[in-house]
Chains A and B, each alone.
Chain A
Amino acid sequence: MEKGEPRACRDVIKDNISETCTCQKNFTVYESFEKNVYLYYGLDNFYQNHRRYVKSRDDKQLLGKDDTAVSNDCSPFGTDGEGMVYAPCGAIANSMFNDTLKLFEIKLGGQAEELNLIKTGIAWPSDRKIKFNNPPGSLNSTGAFKNNVKPPYWTKNVYELDKQDPSNNGYKNEDLIVWMRSAAFPTFRKLYRKIDHNMTGFKFSFPKGQYYLEVEYNYPVDSFGGKKRMILSTTSFLGGKNNFLGIAYITVGSVDQLNINQNTPYSD
């Protein structure tokens, strides 16, 4: 992701992390996608699976059980200087992806129209049900999280992740839940939004045409050689686009190829 202007966003936030930087990227969809298209963000060379990273969380806290003390595993993101507990604690939560992605369709006339993106239903139902729960009390600074402070890298508090939808706020926030399910490999993608197919023109597919992506650039990955990507993908019987199984089956020669799904990854 970059900015067409002299300074790329990554350089801007390198100098000042709190500066807001927005960038755009045009892309063309040459063939319309079948229905149910998903928007992913991808990170390269990001070690979400590092041992110290993986364990740096407190599942009890995320279940809303205890807000005053956290496991040592969260260290050094357990408590702040004054002994206030970070909510949520740990390196995983602290490093949560916080870019904001927006998709715009460039209509024939040249005007852009923002695509409606759905931000719920992106996390595993089981996680929402079993692994994440808010502490009792209202989701504000005096209620459930009165003993907590926001993690150092966060710009807003955990109870401010989705102020509109209480069921998607706090620990129950699906963006958080998705992020907290740490990836198996250093190159990974996570579901960011679902395309709302109720929009006109999107009823049956994601039509081909010109689009652009607008990114509110907050998340630095440059220092460790990381990369960020945006992926639009549809799904199939076997999940995402992946030729591996098909090729493998053909190679093994036992079964004919079953399915290869379509998608078009985009990266900047």
Chain B
Amino acid sequence: MAPAPTIIEDFELEVLELVEERSKRVRKRSSGGGGTVSALRQDHNRRHGSGGLRGKVMEGWAAKVGATAGAPLTKPPMTKTTENNIKPQRPSSIYTKLFGLFNVSTTSHQRETERRIMANNPEFNAQFNYAKNFIKTSKYTLLNFVPYNLFEQFQRLANFYFLCLLVLQLIPVISSLSPITTAVPLIGVLTVTAVKDAYDDYQRHRSDSQVNRRKSSVLRNGQLVEEYWSKVVVGDVIRMENDQFVAADVLLISTSEPNGLCYIETSELDGETNLKCKQCLPETEDLGQDDSLIGVFRGEIRCEPPNNQLNKFDGALHWEGNIHPLDNDKILLRGCILRNTQWCYGVVVFAGKDTKLMMNSGKTKFKRTSIDRLLNFIILGIVFFLLSMCLFCTVACGIWETLTGQYFRVYLPWDNLIPTDPAGGATVIALLVFFSYAIVLNTVVPISLYVSVEVIRLWQSFLINWDDAMCYIPSGTHAKARTTTLNEELGQIEYIFSDKTGTLTQNIMAFNKCTIAGRSFGEVIDPRTGDLLEINELSRTVDLSRNPYHEPSFKFYDHSLVDALDAGDRDCEAFFRLLALCHTVMPEEKNGKLEYQAQSPDEGALVSAARNFGFVFKSRTPNSITIFAKEVQETYELLCILDFNNVRKRMSVILKKDGRIRLYCKGADSIIYERLKSGQESLKHHTQEHLDSFAGEGLRTLCLAYKDLEEDYFQDWKSRHHEAAISLESREEKLDAIYEEVEKDLILLGATAIEDKLQDGVPQTIANLAMAGIKIWVLTGDKQETAINIGYSCQLLTDEMVNIFIIDAQSASEVEEQLQKFREDIRNVSATIHPQTNLSVVTFSVYSDDDAGRDNLSDAGEPNGGFALVINGHSLVFALNANYERLFLEVASHCKAVICCRVTPLQKAMVVDLVKRYKKAVTLAVGDGANDVSMIKTAHIGVGISGQEGLQAVLASDYSVAQFKFLERLLLVHGRWSYYRMCKFLRYFFYKNFAFTLCHFWFAFFVAFSAQTLFDPMFISVYNLFYTSMPVLALGIFEQDVNAKNSIKYPKLYTPGLKNALFNKREFFRSAVHGFVTSCVLFFIPFGAYYNGMDQEGRSMTDQQTFGSVVATILVIVVTMQICLDTSYWTFFNHVTIWGSLILYLLLQYFYNYVLGGDYVGALSKAMGEPMFYFTSLLTIVILMLPIMAWRFYWVDVAPNLSDKVRFKQRHDAKMASKRTEHDMHRTPSARRSRRSIRSGYAFAHQEGFGRLITSGKIMRPRNPKPGNVSNGRAASLRPDANKGPVAAPAPSTVEV
């Protein structure tokens, strides 16, 4: 199947989709179709140069429609494109084939190949039956709840199994137990589950209706009406206001802003908080906000079917006989927030589940823990064991009936339906006994196991919800277990996939330090000792309040900088003047306060720093910038903006004031240093030292420089620049060359250091989690430099690391090459370097003041150094290819830290999926934004950061925490405990049920394999429910080996969970054998004692009821004693449940037999009236308990594990508590130890800045009659009337570059 070249373009756009779908398929696809796919990818990538996928996608489409998407605003798209320019119809047959091939799961109805919509024409649109904007995530309705829920529940193997048992029990010939024994627990289980499902679904209904009931202004018959979101349909024209959520995916028609621009924030979609710019078609822009005009707008949109590509839209608008191409630039997606735009109109293109947001949210999968899966396996095994026991009994029964039973018919005739001939009769009876024993022995697979597991998990979830140590005080947000069924998996996490922005960082950039003319500012030095002081909440900030424009949130601690400014230090003034002038920030006056809109938070932070230090950027026009420098207004003529891009890594402005022309430049240090004028060696040297120091602290640095230009030179340059700017061929390259020419011989001013503020405790959390053996991968949409920087500042990357691999290749073969090289490196290094301890010593050094067991505890050595891998989204596309993913994973799994940058939401999910598939490890994804949703849903456990604006991540998550740092407690304490508890619970549970059920098996040898039960049927039905459930539930809920503090302090305690050590097949087997032996002793000791038993008055005591009651009672005592042994953390509840269940046993026995008239009346009381009972009990208990106790003491004594040691220490500490005060763990950031690496990040937005927009004047309101007039000193947008001016349709701007 060789696709025609024409579809390669399409294919490229589908790459992500394909890769995603691929993960669902069988992996084997190295030849055939797979080869084609990878070939195509390579092909496509060769054709495209650098730039992110996003850029390429836009370019791809732009190339087709003939518009320059790279600079969409410099040249408005051609207005009336001809038919030829329209993207040719998708070769749908091949496309469908391809799509269908990869998308097997979604062929429920005819796949939409093209969407046709006519605005304001519901009749037309109705024929296509497009999805409404109604969102439904709920499963049930009131009517279908009972049948549907029951249907779902019986799909669970266990429930179905018990249903079958119930049916068997209803057949009298087979029934060895009354059906009640199964019916009661089964109904209980079903009810509890149903109630929980109903509650969950109610929550979903509520959140659905909350979203569906959001209001939106819809144009109906030329009139604006308020409608619920759910009532919005495809083809509706809706009006959106500033700061409103966009209700559906809409095609932008007109906006309040000039040139049909509008600004949106897409944090819900991709996590980026910077503004993005959208622009409507110039033709529709004229419709303005004239409702009657828009009401009759009948444009027909033909576009692609719904898909999950956030950055792509293909389509055309047929209107008034013309065809206008549509691209992603004209589409607002559901979930975006309108910003800085008073209003805009749009036609709904995709609604409800068809919106890109919903298509991206992935399917909600029913998540199950690995213990669940193991349980299923074990239960399957138990069922086989059960069947083999039944089979054995069947054969034995057949033999007995043949040898004895047929002759015993004198006293016990066969049932009527049994054949009378001995052989046939015995066979039939034997076969029936098979089922009878299946019923009797079914308690090895106890139904109450499932209920108990659910109850324990639910309760553990409450403990998580109630934990005040995971409450973020400022917002009062507690951690929340949104899914209650995954708790123990929290104790087994091996991989954490974390988002960066908003998760690790606060997304706040703070101007932290700077170096000006070789002098470093920003550190606080003790005036007396000259030592460096740690900056904390108590440190005194510099008082900047005399500046009317200062922001209270701005904090700076070094007074010397203000002093220098006050003293009129010219370098410092120049430094801040540059910061106030050289940027593309837009000013805005909101409620009388000056606010900045920056494309990247970094830039905003710099401009804001300048403002706080008295160099206030006030306003700009296309040709001017006005600042207040030390309260003096200065207006500069803006001659040129040499904007930022990824290659240049710098930006410059050329300004003219008082006849002097000056170029200001800021950029990455390496870039600036290359372009400095010679002869500043000492300054360069000092600045470099400071830069190194800043970088070592994880700060992002930028170098600032300037240069004065001669008028003549500038004019000459300007004309050449103009030439380059209007050239049609390789304009970018020419412009770059022109820029390069002027940006040289710069004079260094200094450098800034910006802190991408981490959330509290992130480095400690990461270090501690890493110590616990958890591997942390950061998946971020940020660019590489930013990501690496953050990697350092949160100690994911350290300077101790042997090597940091960076994969940034552009083609599949290069990626493979790089990966293979890294694999070699890893092999070489790990062959030569012998690991030595590092961090663990730091952690355990706390212990050094306590002599006991220090050496034992610090056995947690981690290899020094290690590797880290940084891969960008572009290379990730190839690395996730089926051919290379194993290689990628192999390299990645040898690395202590992996950072994937510039990844799309889907790639995040794919990375998670990759690890999930091949590593068989438990994964956790943590994120805060809608862009993390797919990853959160894919991972075994999804954690959402709550308390932020967007709720998407939280809604999709299984757990929500307010801060990343709470993850430490969630995993190391709650996760570990949950796992520990669950494992202990399961081990005990299987033990007690084997001990219980197998007694019947032993009894079978004495009852002619007739399936007679040893115990009272009533005892059988409530054994798991009342007599033994409560103590083990208390254990499952409250048990802890080590307290919370020590769990965090000794993260190595987490490793048993990672290794599945506490409950696995072997542990299960041990429990089963323990139960087996117990049942054996339980049966045969009383058997021996009661064989010819009689009471003191000679009455016979060997009857079946007495014997059964005795064994049952001893059984209850023994399993209760066993749980006493197992309980290491005694709470009030443990006491109540343990002693309570013994008392309850006696009470219930009495109540049932004497009050309700049970069959076994008198048996137990008779037995207990005789001393023999107590001697027998004592003997049995001693035989069963002594070896266990001896065994445990022996192991704790001879080979204690970490948990034992910590517990010992804990006890020791408790004794010493009065004497000792615990030191808090203090970790020295590794970054401070050695500073080798220089990390500089020109951390601007991913795209170009607003530079072109500014100079083109498009962004400005053309209200000032003379836009170029700067002499009045006030920029247009600062006029008092600027914000309340008439919002009539603005005339198109006339200024063009």
Q: Is A212 an interface residue (CB 8 A)?
A: no
Q: Smallest CB–CB gap between A44 and chain B, Å?
A: 11
Q: Which residues of A contact B1106 (CB under 8 A)?
A: 184
Least CB distance from B674 to A in Å reads 88
Q: Are B1096 and A53 in contact (CB under 8 A)?
A: no
| A244 CB within 8 Å of chain B | yes
Given A50-B1008, A131-B1162, A244-B1088, is A235 in contact with B1102 using a C-beta cutoff of 8 Å? Answer: no
Asked whether, in the complex, the Cβ of B1166 is within 8 Å of the Cβ of A126, the reply is yes
Chain A positions 143 through 183: 1 when the CB is less than 8 Å from some CB of chain B, otherwise 0:
00000000000000000000000000000000000100111
- Interface range, A side: 35 or more
Chain A residues with Cβ under 8 A from B1085's Cβ? Answer: 248
* Minimum distance in angstroms from A33 CB to a CB of chain B: 12
Binds B, one of A79-87, A189-197, A198-206: A189-197
Closest Cβ of chain A to B259, distance in Å, is 90
Which residues from chain A contact B404 at a C-beta distance below 8 Å?
Answer: 45, 47, 224-225
The verdict on B1010 contacting chain A, using a C-beta distance below 8 Å, is yes
Contacts of B1165 in A (CB 8 A): 126
Query: Are B1103 and A182 touching (Cβ within 8 A)?
Result: yes
Which of A3-11, A20-28, A117-125, A134-142 lies at the interface with chain B?
A: A117-125
The residue in B1095, B1100, B1108, B1161 that gathers the most chain A C-beta atoms within 10 A of its C-beta is: B1100
Take A123-B1099, A186-B1006, A258-B1175 as given contacts and tell me if A47 and B408 are in contact as well, using a CB distance cutoff of 8 Å.
Answer: yes
- Enumerate chain A residues within 8 angstroms of B1103, measured Cβ to Cβ: 181-184
Q: Does B1104 contact A (CB under 8 A)?
A: yes
Asked if B1170 is at the interface (CB within 8 A of a chain A CB), the reply is yes
Could you say which residues of chain B place their CB within 8 Å of the CB of A131? 1161-1162
Inter-subunit contact B1007/A47 (CB<8 Å): yes
**Which of A52, A122, A237, A252 has the most chain B CB atoms inside 10 A of its CB?**
A52
A178 to B1106, CA, bound (A): 13
Instruction: Verify if A112 is at the interface (C-beta below 8 Å from B).
Output: no
Q: Which residues of A contact B1159 (CB under 8 A)?
A: 59
Find chain A residues with CB under 8 A from B1094 CB: 38, 191, 233, 235, 239-240
The interface bits of chain A over 25-67 (1 if a CB of B lies within 8 angstroms of the residue's CB, else 0) are 0000000000010101000011111111110100100000000
Is residue B1287 within 8 Å, beta carbon to beta carbon, of the partner chain? no
CB < 8 Å: which of B410, B1089, B1098, B1105 contacts A242?
B1089
CA distance A184 to B1013 in the complex (A): 11
B1097 proximal to A (CB < 8 A) = yes
Chain B residues with Cβ under 8 A from A52's Cβ?
412, 415, 1010
| B1171 contacts A40, C-beta separation under 8 Å | no
Once the chains bind, are B1096 and A235 in contact (CB under 8 Å)?
A: yes
- Whether the Cβ atoms of B1100 and A40 lie closer than 8 Å is yes
Q: Is B1097 within 8 A of A181, CB to CB?
A: no
Q: Is there contact, CB below 8 Å, between B410 and A220?
A: yes
User: Which of B436, B1085, B1103, B1107 lies at the interface centre, i.e. has the most chain A CB atoms within 10 A of its CB?
Assistant: B1103
Tell me whether A91 and B411 are in contact in the complex, defined as CB-CB below 8 angstroms, given that A49-B1104, A235-B1094 are known contacts: yes
Which residues of B are found within 8 Å of A190, using beta-carbon distances? 1100
Residues of B within 8 A of A40 (CB): 1100
Chain B, interface residues (CB within 8 Å), range: 35 or more
Q: Which of B1098, B1105, B1159 has the most CB atoms of chain A within a 10 A radius of its CB?
A: B1098
- Contact of B383 with A by CB under 8 A: no
Residues of chain B within 8 A of A16, CB atoms compared: none
Tell me whether A223 is interfacial, beta carbon within 8 Å: yes
* In the bound complex, CA of A252 to CA of B436 (Å): 37
Report yes or no: A47 in contact with B412, Cβ–Cβ below 8 A.
Answer: yes
Bound-complex Cα distance A122 to B1095 (A): 11
CB pair B407 A223 closer than 8 Å:
yes
Shortest distance between the CB of B440 and any CB in chain A (Å) = 9
Contact between chains at B1097 and A245 (CB < 8 Å): no
Instruction: State how many angstroms separate the Cβ of B417 from the closest Cβ of chain A.
Output: 12
Choose among B1090, B1098, B1107, B1161 the residue that contacts A126 (Cβ–Cβ < 8 A).
B1161
> Bound state CA distance, A244 and B172, in angstroms?
39
Interface residue? A95 (CB, 8 A): yes
Is A185 part of the contact surface with B, judged by Cβ < 8 Å? yes
Residues of A within 8 A of B1105 (CB): 181-182
- The reply on A249 being an interface residue by CB < 8 A is yes
Write out the residue numbers on chain B whose beta carbons fall within 8 Å of the beta carbon of A53.
Answer: 411-412, 1010
Distance in Å from the Cβ of A189 to the closest Cβ of chain B? Answer: 6
State whether the Cβ of B416 lies closer than 8 Å to any Cβ in chain A: yes
Across the interface, do B1010 and A51 meet the contact criterion of CB distance under 8 Å? yes
**Distance to closest chain B CB from A227 (angstroms):** 13
Query: In the complex, which residue of chain B has the Cβ closest to the Cβ of A238?
Result: B1172
Q: Which residues in A have their C-beta under 8 angstroms from that of B1093? A: 239-240, 242
Q: In the complex, are the beta carbons of B410 and A51 less than 8 A apart?
A: no
Among B410, B412, B1007, max chain A CB count under 10 A is at B412
| CA of A220 to CA of B404, assembled, Å | 14
Q: Known interface pairs A131-B1162, A223-B407. Does A244 touch B1089 (Cβ–Cβ under 8 Å)? A: yes
What CA separation (Å) do A50 and B405 show in the bound complex?
10
On whether A194 and B1166 interact (CB within 8 A), knowing A238-B1175, A245-B1089, the answer reads no
Q: A186-B1006, A189-B1102 are in contact. List 10 more A-B contacts (CB 8 A).
A: A47-B1008, A49-B1104, A54-B1104, A182-B1105, A186-B1008, A188-B1100, A220-B410, A233-B1094, A242-B1093, A245-B1172
Cross-chain pairs A/B with CB under 8 angstroms, 22 sampled: A36-B1097, A38-B1098, A47-B1010, A51-B1011, A54-B1104, A122-B1098, A124-B1099, A126-B1161, A130-B1154, A183-B1103, A184-B1107, A184-B1108, A185-B1091, A186-B1008, A190-B1100, A223-B407, A235-B1095, A240-B1094, A240-B1098, A240-B1101, A252-B1183, A254-B1182
